[in-house]
Chain A
Amino acid sequence: MSNVKIGESLRRVEDLRFLTGHGRYIDDINLDGQARAVVVRSPYAHATINSIDTSSVADMDGVLLVVTRDDWQREGFKPMPTKSGVKNNKDGTPLSQPDRHALAIDRVRYVGEPVALVVAETLQQAQDAAEALDVDYDELDAVTDPVKALAPGAPQLWDDIPNNLCLDFELGDKDGTEKAFAEADHVVSLDVLNNRVTAVPIEPRGCIASYDASEDKYTLYNASQNVHANRDTFAEVLNIDPAKLDHIAPDVGGGFGAKNSGYPEPPLCLYAAKRLGRPVKWINSRSESFLSDTHGRGQSSRVELALKADGTFMGLRTTTIGGIGAYAWTVGPFTPTGGSARTQGGPYNFPAMYYSGKAVLTNTAPMDPYRGAGRPEATFQTERIVEYAARKLGFDPIELRRKNLMPKEMLPHKTPMGLDVDSGDFPKLFEMTMDMVAKADQAALKAKAEAAGKKYGFAIAPYLECTGGGPKEHAGVTFNKDGSVELAVGTSSTGMGHETSLAQILAAALGIEMGRVKFQQSDTTATPLGGGHGGSRGMEVGGNAVKQAADEIIELAKPIAARLLQSETEEVDFEDGTFKAGASSVSMNDVIEASQDADKLPEGMEPGCLNHSSVFERGIISIPNGVHAAAVAVDTDTGTVEFLGYWVMDDFGTIINPMLADGQVMGGVAQGIGQAFLEDIVYDPDTGQLVTGSLMDYGLPHADEIPNMEIGYYEGEPTKKNPLGVKGAGEAGCVGACPAVVNAVLDALKDDGVTHIDMPLTPQKVWKAIRDKGAHDPKALLGDAA
């Protein structure tokens, strides 16, 4: 009998080491003879590099090596490729991809861009030398705002990329949407900012590279959430065979997308390790992380909604200008284009939709996926215009949503954005959420807010998103003679608990004890391929790979069971950890044991014959969906917002481990709340310097700023797109949160005339909106640029 089941809230097996201080993160690893590296970063947003004088530090204590552009060019190292899912402009021409080298070659194009790598015996010596390195720059004009970067006369980042336009994209039926707008009774339009933020995993990035000359082999320990793809990128840059590079992620202290990209520091350290013949360790500081980690969101959009007189939605049109930093990073150009297009319109029935998005180069840090990467933006754009329209046209915002949700009978449905919505019941989730809210007694919450002299606001935000990330995943299972079962998967948990949830899937499928499963991940040697983590793919692709491997192992085991049962393979059935043939039965445990014993195996089978690997490939991306609702109290004297309630209903399909799913939702909501109220990457528009370069100025949510959430799951509509029926849970929290909380605040301020405030809704901005009685230009962001 199986001890564990799918759907059970198993406690995490990885917790013991984390809770007792025995986790092994990148900075906990030290290799014999290692040197320390520090990156010299550009102090300018845009400048020509005239010279780098390495002689200025060569004689300093402990300095071993200074890697510069000269080395990079002499070695013929390649630029890092972009792997954007959208590769062509709307006119069919390829996107403009500037060369992105690990070190700036001719010019620096953002503050924090790597200019050199200094390696010394100790960290202190490397820091001292990095500070002393003499680099001569000529500063150039910089532009940090993507809307301004597109405008005539803007500073040009690249000589061969006119108007800083990397990618010009469209999706949907332009003419049909125009027709819908022409025939509509009402059209509302609003410019919406999705503020630029960064993930801030509490563990900064870092790596240790080493090189074994005798085998011409590299080993890279790296705080990465995507070791296979990163390995291929680094190997391509350094002109080496990927098979010669072992890429291993130890315990990784959070990622949220920021540890997904192909960053410059690992190839720099790999090169330095080879040059020096000793391991090279590099750990980013927090201040450097703000400058050099990828940022996310950062979209300015005009959202237009066409409605009939009765409120029926007829069309949605969104025009987005998104900054992507100074280069086209790993998938940077995709986010403001294809990534934000797909889930436009959410779970509503839109007969016509059109999206156009421009990915624009600016003198800022790289932009790459941050939890959700496009779906939070699309949901926010959709939900803001719906709320705005309701207010402007006099509809009840709840009723307007209810009226326009796709009915269940409409599914399966392909949206005008091409999204394959196969399963779900949006009206049901909406009503289930309203039932949760009703139990909380809105009138009492409102009275509580008003008794404290505050204004009460409520909003509900349905969302619809989609999974993403690598479509293939590998799961390998090895049965050891000591009874342990090794499970190696190419996913990368950076905190999501795959060591538990994937082991749970295997143990439940095979009917073996969890304690036997030894989990291994994020190691390019242990798994021939892997998709790492991104796009809520952990259970959807990784989980199904494990399930598929387990199912195939059961089939492999049937002949062994048949022999033990003195039956025929075709007569053997498997259920709950037990093989049965007629009245007799044998456990999976016994069959596994027999599989190690030549005497008990059928002819032609060898000990270890159950060891098995499987590759699962996702067909069509899944569609997680659900509803968030928030109740807030706004202190109009100061502009501060307090939560009175937060409710979530999610349809993630089958839930593997509800406790872990809750954790994903809670963490995602907290990041959404952070973006909505606190977090903001701000560059000085004149100098291009990062203003929010530390946690003194970049606000992260604390324990007293996040509400308790009531979370429910609807498992009545599992997807048929994969065997487990899972839809993905990792990003949904931050997809639904921003619109729910922003609209709740605006509901509280509706009698003050406030119709819109751009995120983050800091106390100052909320107070000013109240003071200015809501005076707001709906074309404030794009002006005539849309």
Chain B
Amino acid sequence: MGFEGAMPEISLSINGAPVTGTVEGRTLLVEFIRETMKLTGTHTGCDTSQCGACTVHLDGKAVKSCTMLAVQADGAEVTTIEGLAPEGEMNPMQQAFNDHHGLQCGFCTPGMVMRAMALVADNPDPTEAEVRHGLEGNICRCTGYQNIVAAVLDGAKALRG
């Protein structure tokens, strides 16, 4: 039947490492990631699930970690921006964002990169229109998107090898 009482204990994998923790039922996944796990690369930019700054991967799929309870990630594999390039290097998508000036203030960037990675995992060779449409869950206020789109197309190419 699952959890009784207000403080479930959860076990999951974050960026490949096993993690256990006690949460409240109402604890959001983003709160668990940022406050309990101290992984502050995942950001909160709104409270209505629109900006996408909190995007992480849940079992390989992009989700908004502000619109999911932490307890719902029990048993799942979660990847955050910190898990894309654990050695402090940049992966090809991150490198493409750097090459194309696909970020300015950097606040939407982790969510944008996580979404971009999921997008190209589903569609390794997207068109520009597919990229633009595919980023509809992520808002950037700095770049005007042009360089983000260029970065995603280039990152996709690099990831195709």
Contact = CB atoms under 8 A, between A and B. Distances in A.
Contacts of A17: 106
A86 interface: no
A19 B48 contact: no
Contacts of B98: 11-12, 15-16, 19
Interface stretch (A358-366, A456-464, A699-707): A699-707
Interface string B32-54: 00100001111111111011010
B107 A253 contact: yes
Nearest to A256: B141
A18 B99 CA distance: 14
Contacts of A254: 104-105, 107, 141-142
B48 A696 contact: yes
A513 interface: no
Contacts of B80: 21
Interface residues of A, number: 57
Interface string B19-43: 0000000000000001000011111
Given A19-B98, A20-B94, A666 B41 contact: no
Contacts of A709: 144, 146
Interface in B108-145: 108-110, 113, 129, 131-133, 135-136, 138-145
Interface string A241-277: 0000000000111111000000000000000000000
Nearest to A200: B141
A490 interface: no
Contact of A286 (B46, B101, B113, B132): B46
Contacts, number: 174
B107 A21 contact: no
Given A22-B41, A708-B146, A16 B48 contact: no
Contacts of A286: 45-48, 51
Given A19-B97, A21-B110, A666 B144 contact: yes
Contact of B103 (A15, A666, A703): A15
Interface in B57-94: 80-82, 84-85, 88, 90, 94
B146 A706 contact: yes
Given A11-B99, A703-B132, A25 B88 contact: no
- Most chain A CB neighbours (cut-off 10 Å) among B47, B53, B104, B113: B104
A304 interface: no
A429 interface: no
Nearest to B45: A202
A663 B98 CA distance: 12
A702 B136 contact: yes
Contacts of B11: none
B148 interface: yes
A202 B53 contact: yes
- Most chain A CB neighbours (cut-off 10 Å) among B99, B132, B136, B140: B140
A659 B101 CA distance: 7
Given A18-B106, A706-B145, A12 B51 contact: no
B13 interface: no
A300 interface: no
Interface in A672-723: 694-696, 700-704, 706, 708-709
A774 interface: no
B149 interface: yes
Interface string A19-31: 1111111011000
A512 B34 CA distance: 39
A347 to B, nearest CB: 24
Given A19-B103, A663-B101, A702 B48 contact: no
B143 A702 contact: no
A254 B105 CA distance: 5
Contact of B104 (A25, A28, A496): A496
A528 B105 CA distance: 25
B113 to A, nearest CB: 7
Given A25-B43, A286-B45, A20 B84 contact: yes
Interface string A643-660: 000000000000000011
A667 B136 contact: no
- Most chain A CB neighbours (cut-off 10 Å) among B48, B101, B105, B147: B105
A725 interface: no
Interface in A4-58: 11-12, 14-25, 27-28
A404 B99 CA distance: 41
Contacts of A703: 131-133, 135-136, 138, 140, 145, 148-149
Interface of B: 34, 39-48, 50-51, 53, 80-82, 84-85, 88, 90, 94, 97-99, 101, 103-110, 113, 129, 131-133, 135-136, 138-149
Given A254-B107, A663-B147, 8 more contacts: A15-B98, A202-B141, A256-B141, A287-B48, A663-B104, A667-B142, A670-B145, A700-B141
19 contacts: A11-B98, A20-B41, A21-B82, A21-B110, A23-B107, A27-B34, A202-B43, A203-B107, A253-B43, A253-B106, A254-B107, A254-B142, A667-B104, A667-B141, A667-B143, A671-B141, A694-B46, A695-B50, A704-B133
